[in-house]
Structure 1
Amino acid sequence: MNANHRLPRSNSGFTLTELAVVLVIVALLLGGLLAPLSAQIDVRNTSDTRRALGEIREALLGFAAANGRLPCPAPASTASGANGAGIDPLVGTTLVACPSESGVLPWATLGVAETDAWGHRYTYRVSAAFAQALPSGSKAAFQLSTQGTLDVYSAATGGAVVATGVPAVVVSHGANGFGAFTSDGVQLWVGDSNDEAENQLTGGGFAMANTTFVSRTRTPRFDDEVAWISPGVLFNRMITAGKLP
């Protein structure tokens, strides 16, 4: 056989143009799949956090029924595992008032999760009169006539009143986490939403700019989840527990 007589070689490879077209198609398909998946994860996290807030509300009411007061906020800047992390500062001390009315939820004292579904701590503020140490011989730190100092609105400016005279408020800072504290005791960027700013801690986590909060429908710039203890529900739970009147 003539060595120069060879069978034609078939070209089974792809050109660069064909590869580019395939990559574009794959990217489009993945993008179409990832967007709904991201939305599903956000919906699930929101649902899980709302359920957790319901459990937190019950834990706060249970604490009040057992101890005659609401718990004090835990220090926001204390990292998990450090001394005092997630602990009500009044527990086991001789203090008669909360060192601060603002901080994070005392998760360890209440026996609830430290963070929401996005891994951020819950901001917690309490009206001081509802979190005092019990006077000698008293079953509760407050009376039926005690007024809360916290209010909830539908917007930071010009919003309608949602709740007034509230004893305590708990905030999840949502998926964006703006203003939330992490388990390391570090506050995330506060963002640029006035409505979300109403729900955020100031002063290194020991204060808040005012006594008002915002609870509203979610938007691209607002995704906080806000829960509160209403006076009527708290008083009814205390009466049932024999702490009031």
Structure 2
Amino acid sequence: MKRHAKQRGAALLTLLLIATVALAAVLLSAFSGSSSERARELRTHALLAQANEALIGFAATHGRLPRPAPLAAGRATGAATAAGAGEAGRERTVPCATEADCTGLLPWMDLGLQAEDNWGHPLRYSVSPAFTVAPLERTALIASKRVLSRDANGALFFVAGQDVCSLAAQCAPAVILSRGRSDAPGSQDEAGNLLATTDFMQRPRSAEAGAPGGAFDDLLITVPLHILYERMAAAKTLP
């Protein structure tokens, strides 16, 4: 009975996460430009929620989160290289020992997802290295991804995580990122996301170049650690 209750609880939490993302998409779309852009934004928010669920499902089956797919030739940055490249859309073939190695593209083929967001750009994906090795030793693992935003004055604050990620104060195990309408870094904060391996930016959409951090249309979601662990425990893939 306890196991079934936990499974129901984890399922409800996942549904709540998807509903929250959908609500955020609706609220953001109210301030969007054209109706076609609103539609693309809504569909991309839904894709991010679907990718989040697929990552958790992968971990529940395989006992770990997947490694990223390497960035395509010509897209490699300081955050990822073509090392370990295999079939496009598949997770890299060699372990990723560093935050940079564990940052690349979402392995959409392994997850059974569409290849691109609704602007035609591949989703980016960054995962804490220790979470890509099975079995996950949850008493020793530290989730390392942090997400920041800006207040009205441009000051930074944490949306996910804090100054120091630790066993007692965990950050997020993984982040999924859509580059939004423009795949090119058009501002300080967008350029930061393009190069990020641990610290990512999540802000309301803005077309104002003079806004703190510049114009911004990236979309981002984190994998919740407690839901990840609950789903893996229910599937008996977590020691």
The alignment's TM-score, normalised by the length of structure 2, stands at 0.68
Cα pair distance change 1:57/1:166, threshold 3 Å? same
- Offset, 1:145: 4.3
Question: Which of residues 24, 49, 52 is equivalent to 2:47?
Answer: 52
CA contact (8 A) 1:144 1:244 kept: no
How many aligned residue pairs are there?
Answer: 178
Output the amino acid matched with 2:54.
A
Matches within 5 A, 1:17-32: none
Larger Rg: 1
Cα pair distance change 1:235/1:128, threshold 3 Å? same
- Offset, 1:97: 4.1
Query: Which of 218-227 and 235-244 deviates more?
Result: 235-244
Aligned partner of 1:63 in structure 2 is 58
The alignment's TM-score, normalised by the length of structure 1, stands at 0.67
Task: Could you tell me which runs of 5 or more consecutive residues in structure 1 were left unpaired when the two chains were aligned.
Answer: 1-37, 135-139, 179-189, 202-207
Output the amino acid matched with 1:87.
R
Does 2:213 match 1:213? no
Aligned partner of 1:160 in structure 2 is 157
1:15-50 CA distance string (max 9 Å, x none): xxxxxxxxxxxxxxxxxxxxxxx7000000000000
CA contact (8 A) 2:96 2:102 kept: no
Identity in percent: 36
CA contact (8 A) 1:149 1:211 kept: yes
- Offset, 1:108: 0.8
Measured on the aligned residues, the alpha-carbon RMSD in Å equals 2.4
CA contact (8 A) 1:120 1:177 kept: yes
Aligned partner of 2:177 in structure 1 is 171
Report the 3-state secondary structure (helix = DSSP H, G, I; strand = E; otherwise coil) of the residue aligned with 1:169. strand
1:212-234 CA distance string (max 9 Å, x none): 00112111111111011021111
Matches within 5 A, 1:185-204: 190-191=185-186, 193-201=187-195
- Offset, 1:154: 0.7
**What CA distance in whole angstroms lies between the structure 1 residues aligned with 2:137 and 2:190?**
31
**What CA distance in whole angstroms lies between the structure 1 residues aligned with 2:136 and 2:43?**
33
**What CA distance in whole angstroms lies between the structure 2 residues aligned with 1:96 and 1:75?**
12
Aligned partner of 1:85 in structure 2 is 88
Aligned partner of 1:72 in structure 2 is 67
Aligned partner of 1:231 in structure 2 is 225
List, as ranges, runs of 4+ consecutive aligned residues in structure 1 with deviation greater than 2 Å. 95-99, 155-158
Task: Could you tell me which runs of 5 or more consecutive residues in structure 2 were left unpaired when the two chains were aligned.
Answer: 1-32, 75-84, 162-170, 208-214
CA contact (8 A) 2:148 2:201 kept: yes
Report the 3-state secondary structure (helix = DSSP H, G, I; strand = E; otherwise coil) of the residue aligned with 1:162. strand
CA contact (8 A) 1:144 1:235 kept: no
**What CA distance in whole angstroms lies between the structure 1 residues aligned with 2:124 and 2:86?**
19
**What CA distance in whole angstroms lies between the structure 1 residues aligned with 2:232 and 2:38?**
35
